[in-house]
Chain A
Amino acid sequence: MQLENDQKSIKQTQMIIKVATYWHFLLSFSGIFLLFIILYEHGFGKIPVWLSYIAAILLGLLSIGSFYSGIQLIKNRRQGRTASLVVNYLGLIISILFLFQNLGVFLGVDALANTFGSSIGWLSGVLIGYLVYTAGDRFHYRIHIEEMFHKIGKYIALIFFAIFLIKAGLIPALIFLAKQMIIPTNFVIVFISILFGLAIWAMWREATALYLNRTNAQTEALEGYLFLSPNLIGFLIFFAFPLVFSFYISLTDWDAFGNSNFIGLTNYFKLFQLNLKQLANSSQDFFNVMDGSIFSELLRFNMFGKSYVLGAADARFWIALRNTIVFGIVTVPLSAIPALFLANILNSKIPGMKIFRAIYFLPSIAAVVGISLIWQWLYNATVGYINYFITIGLDFINNIFSTGYPQAQIRWLSDSRTALLAIIIVSAWQTMGFNTVLFLAGLQNVPKELYEAATVDGAGRWAKFWKITLPLLAPTTFFVITTTTIQAFQVFEQVFIMTNPPGSPGTSTLTIVLYLYQNGFQRFQQGYAAAIAWVLFIVIFSVTLLQFRSQRKTGAYDV
């Protein structure tokens, strides 16, 4: 009898594997068919070009993976099961995402806060049910009373939860869903999703696994990747894909609205197109030596007694790059060095120090927009508080020393000599608090014994700082400098809000990210903006790499 059952089970498993094999070949050929439609027939003329490329790549991978699964399953190999599970799992996820997109779920998510907010009160009934349920535990010595409480608690919770769902709009949603299911596209997607689900079940079941000689290592790997998959898929969709996609975009003249042509490296050539010419004299007109319809004057300089002019096809890009580098070079020390000293002060054990720590940290967690608006007011040359206090100070000095300093009318944000500095001050001020907290954490890891030994050796405060604190803070200092540099090279919000128009006066505060934004969102040049983004990425990557290398050379912190 047992043998008969086993044979029946084996036959059933063989049949399931056979069906799964057919399914994979069908999937593979369907994928290839769709791929041909996309590549040659433009069957999905309505979808953007980039999306059709992605669909083609996915279909290609699906077909290959599916074909491989089919072949391996014919040979009853365990690799076939693994490949089948991966293909079907990804197929299921993609089908569900497709279905959600078709149903408008991603857009409807915005409405969730309102929907649930209006009915959230009913969830208190679930809490009451839970309390009643747990109250029953007090009567564990009288089981029938305990069970009664448990039952009542469950029903209360269920009833209120049902009310909550109904109030949240579940019924109209179900009706809407039912109506949507009549639409053939949705129906087909649901059907395909079910097929993928069944295929997963067929391969996942124990009998199939045993028949295909699964090993513990295979099971562990599959389960491991299954748990990893939400994060892995999220990473691929929201990070890896945009990264690759933005590089593709940088090779096109895409305007964000579907108008796109592949133009190769043209965007990059335009960014780096420079022209150096010798001038007859230092004041010679730029347009006499270079074609003004292509180049703009970027720089004039003298070398070995001769004058030169450097022209650029996109001078604003180079100006933005220069401003960004200057911003980074000044901001990083300005936000790291004071933070180090502040951290040393805040590391002392005097009453109320925690309040000071919180105060210094506040700017880092405050909204950049709000902070920038406040600083814009403070910087106002005519009615701003900064000039007002400087004037009061000068008046005081004038009264005491009978000097004649005039009223302070520093044009912080409207003078090209001070505007970038003004932005740097705000940015350094805002970053300093966070850096202080990092240094503070680093300081608390420095062993106290070292200070005690130094004291015994007669070292003063300064010597202790230079010989103990600073070297032992090297890992923190490295982290602070690296993150602050990356942040500084991406400066945008402060410039965008504080200068009007953004990047002014002239181009003195134009930064790379601002320029990228202007190209992408104001001039409809997403391709060009993507190329700028990649250049910025390379700059940041190079600077960070240099920092890592120099840090390794010091040997203070082996990373």
Chain B
Amino acid sequence: MSRKMFLVLSVIIVFAMVMSACAPVVVETAAPVETAAPTEAPATMEPEPMDVTLRWRTRPDNQAEIDVYSSVSADLDAAMDGVTLVYEPGGSETSSYQDVLKTEIGAGTAPDVFWIPGTDVADFATRGLILDMKSMADATDGFSAGDFYPGPMYHLTFNPETNMTGEALWGLPRDVSTFALYLNLDLIAEAGADDPRELAKEGKWTWEAFLDVAKKVQALGSDVYGYGANAWWGPYGVWINSAGGNFYNADRTACGLDTPEAIAGLTFERQLYVEDKVAVPYGEDSEPPFMAGKVAMFQNGRWATPGVRANANFNWDVVELPTGASGQGNWLFWGAYVVNAKTEHPEEAWKLVQMLTTAETQGKIAALGANIPSRMSQEAFDAFLTFTPPANNQAFLNGIADANKPTAEGPLWAGSWPNYDSIMGPMVSKVLNGELTIEDYQKTICVEANKAFEQ
């Protein structure tokens, strides 16, 4: 090959590469599993004259969820005239979902619609990263924010400028979740302890009963534990909530971790770890020992169910959390679909957010077992309850029932949640590891944590 020809070919290759990069991205969407349009149509909007492409993203936990979301995307694509949907599973083994998303928002390449955890809503909204859809929602026939759990909607409709709820709409909750105790029934039976499910039915599932079961199981051996939970704000938060305490004061403008109620909750939890030593040491991942059959009661959310189904080689079920002075103290975890403030198609994006949160769509996701529908609809609950084991699915629904006063996971509108968490977490960790006394903790925690409200 002559030098000239080689040169020409090289130039053509480079040119072709650049040209191909210029071409609009061709995205392969998964074939729809079911082609039928959703039965519960979202509120209607004016049909769009132009064909637009909407990118949307949510954080799936596994490949099965990616497949279902792809299928949902294909179904909605077929149902939305003039709109082409592109689903992007977010996160990977080596990159956090939120980090990638924030980087893309900074670079201006984030999708039109994306999911964020409930705690991030304030940060995203106050920085102008997500769209307030209130005006579009008001103009939409048939839409009602009251169809969703009120806890998440309180924050999703909060207007930081007026400090009033119901005056904005930042998104709609994708799903909700809550804690339950995953039980190793074999271990509990071996220890001769009462079955927590029976105690719960009889209304005797209290902190004392819980501690009794934990102690009996722990007596089986030094490598066996009555209770296990992972080290983040969720698990220790329930003990604080259950004792009648809260992370914040009533209007969420200051720290509430030093109140007698909050201290009572943490003191009980410290007893599990430090005094009675019935719990997997704080900071250790409790899931492996639970799967290995060495933990009787493993506190985790609904998202852990697929993993337990796949890996537990013992009889297991779930039970709701034990009640303290103020009930279960459970969390209502949630995340929301929000619309990128820079989207070029806000109306189509709003329509997509509605369609992603219909009872039918949520039912499909809930049928995988990892999530509880965020829409308070019997259809969605039925889909959730059909997913067994665990036999006692109702324990999750009980956890978020109004009667049990769950605390909605919430963003901090008056401060910085990441800062608050980074102050609270290490100090609680020191308490539960026995490195800090409850008295010293009570003296310092709110002085330190209140700094998160000054930012």
Contact = CB atoms under 8 A, between A and B. Distances in A.
Interface in B98-138: 98-99, 102-103, 105-106, 109, 123, 127-129
A383 B21 contact: no
A282 to B, nearest CB: 14
A523 B123 CA distance: 9
Contacts of B430: 416, 505-506
B116 to A, nearest CB: 13
Contact of A112 (B21, B222, B289, B429): B21
B22 A104 contact: yes
Contacts of A105: 18, 21-22
Nearest to A407: B222
Contacts of A369: 93-94
A215 interface: no
A109 B18 CA distance: 8
Given A414-B281, A501-B232, A504-B425, A170 B20 contact: yes
B450 interface: yes
A285 B418 CA distance: 27
Contact of A521 (B99, B225, B425): B99
Interface in A106-140: 106-112, 114-116, 130, 133
B39 to A, nearest CB: 36
A111 B26 contact: yes
B194 interface: no
Interface in A164-205: 165, 168-170, 172-174, 176-177, 180
Interface stretch (A19-27, A253-261, A340-348, A539-547): A253-261
B426 A112 contact: no
Given A173-B22, A383-B294, A521-B102, A500 B1 contact: no
B429 A506 contact: yes
Given A380-B288, A414-B433, A518 B223 contact: no
B294 A382 contact: yes
Contacts of B20: 108, 111-112, 115-116, 168-170, 173
Given A105-B21, A115-B20, A285-B443, A416 B435 contact: yes
Given A116-B20, A173-B19, A383 B282 contact: no
Contacts of A115: 20, 23, 26
A249 interface: no
Contacts of B282: 414, 505
A165 B447 contact: no
Contacts of A255: 127
A234 B288 CA distance: 47
A2 interface: no
A462 B438 CA distance: 56
Contacts of B129: 257
Interface string B254-282: 00000000000000000000000000111
A507 interface: yes
A103 B19 CA distance: 10
B22 A165 contact: no
B435 to A, nearest CB: 6
Contacts of A416: 430, 433, 435
A465 to B, nearest CB: 42
A264 interface: no
A33 interface: no
Nearest to B288: A383
A415 B433 contact: yes
B5 interface: yes
Contacts of A414: 231, 281-284, 433
Given A257-B105, A524-B123, A500 B230 contact: yes
Interface string A63-95: 000000000000000000000000000000000
A416 B222 CA distance: 22
A172 B294 contact: no
B99 to A, nearest CB: 5
B9 interface: yes
B379 interface: no
A258 B282 CA distance: 40
Q: Of residues A107, A376, A518, A522, which shows the largest number of chain B Cβ atoms within 10 Å of its Cβ?
A: A522
A292 B448 contact: yes
A406 interface: yes
B315 to A, nearest CB: 20
Q: Of residues A112, A172, A524, which shows the largest number of chain B Cβ atoms within 10 Å of its Cβ?
A: A524
B431 to A, nearest CB: 10
B435 A506 contact: yes
Interface in A505-559: 505-507, 518, 521-524
Contacts of B109: 107
Contact of B451 (A116, A285, A293): A293
A179 to B, nearest CB: 10
Contact of B284 (A107, A293, A411): A411
A256 B99 CA distance: 12
Contacts of B25: 107-108, 110-111
A193 to B, nearest CB: 13
A416 B26 CA distance: 51
B16 A170 contact: yes
A296 interface: yes
B127 A524 contact: yes
B95 to A, nearest CB: 10
A413 B285 CA distance: 10
Interface in A391-409: 406-407, 409
A377 interface: yes
B64 interface: no
Contacts of A293: 447, 450-451, 454
B416 interface: yes
B294 to A, nearest CB: 6
Contact of B283 (A170, A292, A411): A411
B425 A523 contact: no
Nearest to A154: B5
A165 B288 contact: no
Interface in B119-160: 123, 127-129
A503 B230 CA distance: 15
A484 to B, nearest CB: 24
A426 interface: no
A321 interface: no
Contact of B288 (A256, A292, A377): A377
Nearest to A106: B21
Interface string B8-22: 010010001111111
Given A256-B102, A504-B429, A382 B23 contact: no
B4 to A, nearest CB: 12
B24 interface: yes
12 contacts: A106-B21, A112-B17, A176-B24, A255-B127, A259-B128, A285-B443, A287-B447, A381-B281, A382-B225, A414-B283, A501-B231, A524-B418
Interface of A: 100, 103-112, 114-116, 130, 133, 154, 161, 165, 168-170, 172-174, 176-177, 180, 255-257, 259, 285-287, 292-293, 296-297, 316, 369, 376-377, 380-383, 406-407, 409, 411, 413-416, 500-501, 503-507, 518, 521-524
